[in-house]
Amino acid sequence: MNLNPPTVFAVDDDAVVRRGLERLLRSAGLAVRSFASAQEYLDQGLDEPGCLVLDVSMPKLSGLGLQAALAARGIRIPIVFLTGHADISMSVQAMKGGAADFLTKPFRAKDPPLATRTSGQCTPHRPYEETPQTTNTR
């Protein structure tokens, strides 16, 4: 049994945004590991409980591409997408792919929804574990 709290994995190719995410999420008491690209995250082969805060538009492998790659590998991890260039089809694709949330940039340090929404998505289960299903008893 893993006693470590879930980690937020922040993936953004913009170093300034990545540092801002780290500060904002850590100030909310969350553990954070950041990556400069989707491929860097994939290369880590992580099997830790947590969630992803993921930029949609990145060179080579986009956030949506990473979401698809994780799904193809059977990895289920909550994803909160961030984008500065949102459109409806992009957000629909992300949500149909299982995204937990889809937020727009810029975000501000005094803007609590990002940290609150992210912490609410982090799971204590490993990405390969089946998460407990709740049943509606109505």
Q: Each residue of 20-77: pLDDT tens digit?
A: 889 988 888 889 999 999 999 999 877 778 899 999 999 999 999 999 999 998 888 8
The domain of 69 spans: 7-121
Label each residue of the chain as H, E or C: CCCCCCEEEEECCCHHHHHHHHHHHHHCCCEEEEECCHHHHHHHCCCCCEEEEEECCCCCCCHHHHHHHHHHCCCCCCEEEEECCCCHHHHHHHHHCCCCEEEECCCCCCCHHHHHHHHHHCCCCCCCCCCCCCCCCC
Examine residue 65 and state whether it is found in any structural domain, yes or no.
yes
In-domain check, residue 2? no
Contact 6, 49 (CB under 8 A): yes
Predicted structure pTM score: 0.79
pLDDT of residue 39: 95
> What is the CATH classification number for the domain harbouring 92?
3.40.50.2300
User: What is the pLDDT, as a whole number, of residue 68?
Assistant: 94
Q: Which of 81, 1, 92 is nearest to 38 (CA)?
A: 81
- Report how many domains make up the chain: 1
Residue 66 in contact with residue 37, Cβ under 8 Å? no
- Does some domain include residue 126? no
Instruction: Name the more confident of 104 and 51.
Output: 51
The band of 137, judged by pLDDT with boundaries at 50, 70 and 90, is very low
Residue 53 lies in a domain: yes
Decide if 103 is inside a domain: yes
